[in-house]
Structure 1
Amino acid sequence: MNWFDNVSSDSDQPIAPACLYQGHWRHRLHAYGDKVLCRVVIDVAEPRVVAAQVVENGLIEDLESSTLEDLNQAMLAQEVHLNPTAWGLAPCAMLPIWSKPTFTESQIGELERIQGYLIEASEESVDSVLKLRDQFLQGIGMTDQDVHRAVRQSHEYGKGLRKGGRGVLS
């Protein structure tokens, strides 16, 4: 597997580039409920479900974090990440417009590290730090718009506040 070069030199864990697939999956939201149709985005490099929505009876609704984790576990148990095309998923370079992103702890840490660089940057180096951030986001299949959506509604897109009271981008 090719590892994405870390943006910062003070991180000891490389972050894999995203390898995103999107498609549909039937998932049971409740123990005794019927399976419902969900549209999903899975990153097979992590592997984890990055975003998912229920698409049933003309309604579209984002999955709550606990349901997203259940869906993630179900797809990993079926080993969807090993051959996503066999399960009807198609590759995508970036998150689809409909998706609401989630981030791993290491991705949040790297974004916070870049944010620190941005705060410390001189006027001459701001553009290079922003370019660095954009390259990192592109590497994980996201854009700055995905980050802004996650920051505005952080309780839906990850674990919320982290140790020390830091959110996605403090």
Structure 2
Amino acid sequence: MSRRQSKMYALKLLKLAEASGEVERVGEELEALASALGPELVRKLDHPAFEEREDLLRSLAERLGLSEVMKEFLGELGARRKFRLLREIVERYRRLADEVVGRVRVRSAFPLKDGTKVLVEERVRSHWGPNLMISWEVDPELLGGLVIEGRGRRIDASLKGNLERLLRRFPCRGWAWSRRRR
């Protein structure tokens, strides 16, 4: 249920952002809002007995300098007490906005050299078209390799992804299992 709701909210926000021509700005503001709200504050905002919700949201919107689109969205989340969905809404909005803007995200375990970036860009553009925005992110959790996401597709060529696929294919019960097999 929460997945469906978060997708619905992300789509609604994207439509508002597209209508105002602020898809990128709204995405940045949404991420800033999510990072500003800790778990304790989210619980308070979603609690039905919390009376200072509107005042708190108004001051938060002023402090973050949110656009009118985000203020409207913030009011709706507050009225329906759905702040617990915010992190998932951010992820869904990012994916949907990437498709609208034509962005492909490339994540690597460490910063890539310029020559490597050029090669990856050429390959991505040859498969997905020349009119793309490519954004680069460093994610040390990948351990090695790349993850490329965009246009509704995901290519996981990371070491972490390969290890996870191996574990799914050959499930084991920890180190004790591997020692008994020797």
**TM-score of the superposed pair, with normalisation by structure 2:** 0.24
Higher strand share: 1
Higher helix share: 2
**TM-score of the superposed pair, with normalisation by structure 1:** 0.25
Instruction: Point out the structure with max Rg over C-alpha.
Output: 2
